Chains A and B, each alone.
Chain A
Amino acid sequence: MEDIDAIALLQDPVRRRLYEYVVAQGREVGRNEAAEAAGVARTLAAHHLDKLTGAGLLESGSRRLTGRSGPGAGRPAKVYTRARAEWAVSLPARDYLTAAELLAEAAEGAGLDAGLCAAARRRGEALRGPGAAPCGGLDEAMDVLAARGYEPHLEGAEGEGGGSLPVVRMRNCPFHAVAERFPPLVCGMNLALLEGLLGADGPVRARMDARPGECCVVVESSKNNID
Chain B
Amino acid sequence: MTASPHGPAAVHLAQLNVATFRYPLDDPRVAPFVEALDPVNAAADAAPGFVWRLKEDGENDATAMRPLGERVIVNMSVWETREALWDFTYRSGHLEVMRGRRDWFERHAEAHMVLWWVPAGHVPSVEEALERLADIRANGPSPDAFTFTSFHAPVEAAAARA
A183 with B98: CB separation less than 8 A: yes
The interface residues of chain A lying within 8 Å CB-to-CB of B149 are: 181
Q: How far does the alpha carbon of A188 sit from the alpha carbon of B93 in the complex, in Å?
A: 13
The interface residues of chain B lying within 8 Å CB-to-CB of A191 are: 99
The interface residues of chain A lying within 8 Å CB-to-CB of B96 are: 208-210
Closest to B95 in A: A210
The interface residues of chain B lying within 8 Å CB-to-CB of A188 are: 99
The interface residues of chain A lying within 8 Å CB-to-CB of B99 are: 113, 184, 187-188, 191, 208
Closest to A188 in B: B99
The interface residues of chain B lying within 8 Å CB-to-CB of A211 are: 91-92
The interface residues of chain A lying within 8 Å CB-to-CB of B102 are: 111, 113-114
B107 with A208: CB separation less than 8 A: no
Q: Please, what's the 1-or-0 string for B53-96, where 1 marks a CB less than 8 Å from any CB in chain A?
A: 00000000000000000000000000000000001011111011
Chain B: interface residue total (CB-CB under 8 A) = 14
Closest to B48 in A: A212
Answer whether residue A216 sits at the interface, using C-beta atoms and an 8 A cutoff: yes
Total A-B residue contacts, Cβ distance less than 8 Å = 40
The interface residues of chain B lying within 8 Å CB-to-CB of A187 are: 90, 95, 99
Given A208-B99, A210-B96, A183-B90 contact (CB < 8 Å) = yes
Answer whether residue B29 sits at the interface, using C-beta atoms and an 8 A cutoff: no
The interface residues of chain A lying within 8 Å CB-to-CB of B122 are: none
Q: Please, what's the 1-or-0 string for A190-227, where 1 marks a CB less than 8 Å from any CB in chain B?
A: 01000000000000000011111100100000000000
Chain A: interface residue total (CB-CB under 8 A) = 17
Given A111-B107, A208-B96, A210-B96, A184-B101 contact (CB < 8 Å) = yes
Q: How far does the alpha carbon of A114 sit from the alpha carbon of B92 in the complex, in Å?
A: 21
Q: How far does the alpha carbon of A110 sit from the alpha carbon of B109 in the complex, in Å?
A: 9
A208 with B95: CB separation less than 8 A: yes
Closest to B83 in A: A212
Which residues between 85 and 128 of chain B lie within 8 Å of chain A, taking CB atoms? 87, 89-93, 95-96, 98-99, 101-102, 107
The interface residues of chain B lying within 8 Å CB-to-CB of A209 are: 93, 96
The interface residues of chain A lying within 8 Å CB-to-CB of B90 are: 183-184, 187, 210
Closest to B97 in A: A184
B95 with A183: CB separation less than 8 A: yes
Closest to B101 in A: A184
Closest to A113 in B: B102
B107 with A184: CB separation less than 8 A: no
Shortest distance between the CB of A6 and any CB in chain B (Å): 26
B-side residues, CB < 8 A to A, are 87, 89-93, 95-96, 98-99, 101-102, 107, 149
A-B contact pairs, 8 of them (CB 8 A): A183-B95, A187-B99, A208-B99, A209-B93, A209-B96, A211-B91, A212-B87, A212-B91
Supplied contacts A113-B102, A184-B90, A210-B96, 6 more A-B pairs, CB within 8 Å: A114-B102, A183-B89, A187-B90, A208-B96, A211-B92, A212-B91
A-side residues, CB < 8 A to B, are 110-111, 113-114, 181, 183-184, 187-188, 191, 208-213, 216
Closest 9 CB pairs of A and B: A183-B90, A184-B98, A111-B107, A210-B95, A208-B96, A212-B91, A212-B87, A210-B91, A188-B99
